[in-house]
Amino acid sequence: MFQLRWIVTQQQDGMLVREFLKQQHISKTALTDIKFQGGRIEVNDMPVTVRYVLKAGDEVRVSFPPEQKSVHMVAQPIPLSIVYEDDYVIVVDKPPHMATIPSREHPQGTLANALLYHYERQHLQATVHVVTRLDRDTSGLVLVAKHRHVHHILSEQQKQGRVKRRYEALCHGYVTPLVGTIDAPIGRKGESIIEREVRPDGQRAVTHYAVLQYKNEMSHVSIQLETGRTHQIRVHFSYLGHPLVGDDLYGGFREQIDRQALHSCELTFFHPFFEKTMTFHAPLPHDMARLL
């Protein structure tokens, strides 16, 4: 059972448990689950309600109810490249050609299936909470929360722009200028469920980039997203006339590589329980490095 503990400070003396837990970023939904799904709120080892008045020095402990994985989610013994792991989060370097979560087209063999198997071996009763999802053919760092509450906190960070990802991509041709920002709105293309395009009625999308090198009639580009629209990098560089190598959905060619040459190489977030900023890196995978 996932538990969190705190000591009430002098400044929090006289606060209701409800307000105290709100200060700890525990959502109303989580409180409802704790109340009705088998969780507990205790002060100094005694069960209390959210109306209990706290005193300085009290120990507050919250036990969250056990999580149930979906009946459609199957644990599979798929190798994982784990970059970092603790009791709250796991950072994985996802290979290309692996979906992040199951779908109708890819019901198994996903990162989520591999993580469930990893959790089972740790005797961790949890389902998979992906914070930074990647397209199936995009490789690189993925941040996953080990509990619903942790996911809630990190998702709030993401909305505030505090979860940062840097990408590297290979584009056809010579991107100019060497450093730039693409600020062009993105929306669905026609009736397509998958494809996106730059269009006036789309959502604002901002991509910052810097060319690292020109090589073999390609541009090796470092990319930082300001917004996170679906297929944003792929659409923006296609819009510039420099589609990603291998991205045949948006005008790239697959003679050299059988997927879009896009890799999430750097991930930064503020760890809410260790209270420090953490940054992780993943080198270019073999297929992209080979092209350079």
Domains located in the chain, CATH noted: 3-63 (3.10.290), 166-264 (3.30.2350.10)
* pLDDT tens figures, 123-139: 888 899 999 999 999 99
> What is the per-residue burial (b if ≥16 Cβ within 10 Å, else e) of 13-25?
eebebbebbeeee
Q: Are 158 and 99 in contact (CB under 8 A)?
A: no
What is the model's pLDDT at position 212? 98
Closest CA to 117 of 67, 171, 57, 77: 77
Catalytic residue among 33, 87, 135, 247: 135
Quick one: pLDDT band at residue 105, thresholds 50, 70, 90? confident
What is the model's pLDDT at position 104? 83
Residue 279, token pair as written in the block? 């940054």
Whether the per-residue pLDDT at 72 is higher than 90: the answer is no
What is the model's pLDDT at position 280? 98
CA 220/CA 292 separation, integer angstroms: 8
Quick one: pLDDT band at residue 151, thresholds 50, 70, 90? very high
What is the model's pLDDT at position 66? 86
What is the model's pLDDT at position 126? 85
* pLDDT tens figures, 198-225: 999 999 999 999 999 999 999 999 999 9
Whether the per-residue pLDDT at 257 is higher than 90: the answer is yes
Average pLDDT over residues 18-22: 95
What is the model's pLDDT at position 73? 86
* pLDDT tens figures, 258-280: 999 999 999 999 999 999 999 99
> What is the per-residue burial (b if ≥16 Cβ within 10 Å, else e) of 148-170?
bbbbbbbeebbeeeebbbbbbbb
Q: Are 79 and 36 in contact (CB under 8 A)?
A: no
What is the model's pLDDT at position 283? 97
What is the model's pLDDT at position 1? 77
Please, what sign has the CA dihedral across residues 225, 226, 228, 231? negative
Compute the 3-state secondary structure of the chain and give helix, strand, coil in percent, each to the nearest 5: 20, 30, 50
Give the chain's mean pLDDT. Answer: 94
Q: Mark whether 13 is an active-site residue.
A: no
CA 155/CA 272 separation, integer angstroms: 11
CA 104/CA 253 separation, integer angstroms: 27
* pLDDT tens figures, 169-199: 999 999 999 999 999 999 999 889 899 999 9
Interior angle at CA 50, CA 46 and CA 52, nearest 5: 60
Closest CA to 88 of 158, 146, 25, 132: 146
Query: What is the separation, in whole angstroms, between the first and last Cα of the chain?
Result: 48
pTM for this entry: 0.90
Average pLDDT over residues 82-95: 97
* pLDDT tens figures, 37-54: 889 999 999 999 999 999
What is the model's pLDDT at position 214? 97
Pairing type for strands 262-271 and 164-172 reads antiparallel
What is the model's pLDDT at position 69? 76
DSSP 45-90: TEE--TTPBP-TTPEEEEEPPPP---TT---------EEEE-SSEE
Whether the per-residue pLDDT at 71 is higher than 80: the answer is no
pLDDT cut 90: percent of the chain above it: 86
Q: Are 170 and 288 in contact (CB under 8 A)?
A: yes
What is the model's pLDDT at position 125? 84
Q: Are 175 and 242 in contact (CB under 8 A)?
A: yes
